[in-house]
A and B are shown apart, each in its own frame.
Chain A
Amino acid sequence: MKVSKGDIFERVFIREEVHLQIEQEAGSKVKIHVINAPFSITVNQLGEGCQTEIYGLENLHGEENVTAETHVTHSVGGGTSNQLIKFVLADNARGRFIGDLKIAQDAQETEAHQTNRNLLLSETAEMRTQPQLEIYADDVKATHGASTGQLDESALFYMQQRGIDKQKARQLLVNAFMKDVINSISDERVREELLNTIDGVVE
C-alpha cells in the first residue's frame, strides 16, 4: 500500500495478524501498533520528511510462538523512524524479533531508533532477537538496543514487604513493563481500554 504525500496512516491491531508493505511519500506519517499478534511490517520511506512509528507488544503464555518482523528503509533523507517492540514471555512461550533497519546512502539527516525489550517470566521461555542495521549515509542519528531480562527481584521483595503477594507483585511489574507501548497509542478510548485490561488483572 501507499501512503500519499502528507497523509497519515494510523492503526492499532489487537489480536489480529498483520502483514503490511507500505511505501511512504514525502511528509507522510505512519503509526502502527500491534498488540498480541504476529506481524511483519515493511516500510520504505520514498519521499523526504516521512515519519514512521511501529510499536509491538506481545504478551505470550503456554506454547505460544510469535514472530515480529520489521523492515524499515530510509531511501530518502530528512525522515524519522521509531520502533519499540516488547515481548513478555511466560511458560514455554517462544518469541522472535527480526528488525532490519536500512538507511540508504542518499538518506542524509535521518533519525532512526529501534528498541527491543523482552521480559522472561520463566526458565523455559525463550526469546531470539535479530536486529540488523545497514547504514550507508553519514549524517544520521541512529540508535538501536535490545535487551532480555527477568523481573527485578529487589522490586518484588519490596512489594512483598508491603503485603502484596508475589503473584500480584509480578503482575504489577509486568504491567509496568507493558505500559509505555500502550501509552503511545493516540486514540484515548483504545488506550484506556487496554490500560484497564492490564490493571484489571491486579485489582
Chain B
Amino acid sequence: MKPLLEIKDLHASIGGKEILKGVNLVINEGEVHAIMGPNGAGKSTLSAVLTGNPAYEVTSGEVWLKGENLLEMAPEVRARAGVFLSFQYPVEIPGVSMTNFMRTAINEKRKYEGKEPLSAKEFLSLMREKKKLLELPDKLNNRSVNEGFSGGEKKKNEIFQMAMLEPCLAILDETDSGLDIDALRIVAEGVNRLKTPENASIVITHYQRLLDYIVPDFVHVLADGKIVKTGDKTLALELEEKGYEGF
C-alpha cells in the first residue's frame, strides 16, 4: 500500500483562533476514512485547509500528497493534482452554466496532465455518461451552477463533478446533511462506484447513517482539533449509541 496523503502535526487557525491542534493522519490508496466528531471539533476546518481555503491559516505542520508538499500548492493546483472537495454548502454561481464551468474545469485538469483538451462532442458525451450515475436530469446542463437546485440536487451535483474529474482523493464534507434517504442512497452509490484501488476518500460526517452506505476502513474521532480515537467501522456504531460525550 502506498501512502496517498500524509498529515503531520497539522495546526490551523481562523481569525487568530486555533481550530486544528495537531492532526496526524495517513491515508493509503484504496482506503476510505471516516472522520466523525462533535460540532466545532474542526472537521470542516480540516477539509478547508486541505483544499487551500484562504480563510484559514496553517500555523505549523506538513501535508504530503503522493510525496508532494500539498500546502505549497495553490488551491487550483491541488484540485488538478486530484484533491476534490464535495462542499457541505455548494456555492450558487448565477450566470455561469454547468456546461461552461465543467468544461473549463476538465480542460484545466487535462492541461495539467499534459493532455489535449476535450472537444465539445467528447465533453458532452462524458457529461451524459456521468450524469446517469447520479440520476441527474439533462436540463441541468444549461442551468447556472447550483442556482435554484434543491438540496439533494446540489449534493448529487457535487458527486457528479467528482465523477467527471476522477480525483485521487475525495473529501466528502457532510455530504449526507439535508439529504432524504433516496438521495442519500444515490449519492452513496455514486461514491462507491467511483472507488478504485488507486484512489481514497475522507468522509466527514456527524452521523453514522451515511456509513451504512459508504463503508469506511477506518473511523477517526476528531475532538477539539485532534484525532483522539481511531477504530474500524464498529467505532461509528459505538459513537451513534453513546454520543460524543467523553471526548
Contacts and interface: CB of A to CB of B under 8 A. Distances in A.
Interface stretch (A43-51, A75-83, A176-184): A176-184
B95 interface: yes
Contacts of B94: 176
A164 B102 CA distance: 10
A161 interface: yes
A50 B75 CA distance: 52
Which one of A152, A162, A172, A176 has the greatest number of beta carbons of chain B within 10 Å?
A162
A155 B105 contact: no
A41 B51 CA distance: 49
A164 B87 contact: no
Given A158-B93, A176-B93, A163 B165 contact: yes
A28 to B, nearest CB: 32
A175 to B, nearest CB: 7
Interface in A143-170: 152-155, 157-166, 168
B76 A163 contact: yes
A160 B108 CA distance: 10
B95 A180 contact: yes
B91 A162 contact: no
A158 B109 CA distance: 15
What class of interface size applies to chain B in its complex with A? 20 to 34
A168 B87 CA distance: 21
A155 B74 contact: no
A160 to B, nearest CB: 4
B79 interface: yes
A10 B226 CA distance: 65
Interface string B76-109: 1001100011010011111110001110110011
A175 B152 CA distance: 28
Nearest to B94: A176
Contacts of B87: 158, 161
B76 A172 contact: no
Contacts of A159: 93, 101, 105
A158 B144 CA distance: 14
* Chain A binding surface, main DSSP class: helix
Interface in A180-203: 180, 199, 202
B112 A162 contact: no
B196 interface: no
Nearest to B144: A176
A173 interface: yes
Contacts of A177: 95
A168 B96 CA distance: 12
Contacts of A202: 100, 104
Interface string B185-227: 0000000000000000000000000000000000000000000
Contacts of B53: 157
A152 B145 CA distance: 14
A152 B91 CA distance: 10
A164 B95 contact: no
A144 B48 CA distance: 39
A164 to B, nearest CB: 5
Interface in A24-49: none
B231 interface: no
Interface of A: 152-155, 157-166, 168, 172-173, 175-177, 179-180, 199, 202
Given A164-B76, A172-B96, A180-B95, 8 more contacts: A158-B91, A160-B75, A161-B51, A161-B75, A163-B112, A172-B104, A173-B93, A176-B144
8 contacts: A163-B108, A164-B104, A165-B108, A168-B108, A172-B93, A172-B96, A173-B93, A173-B95
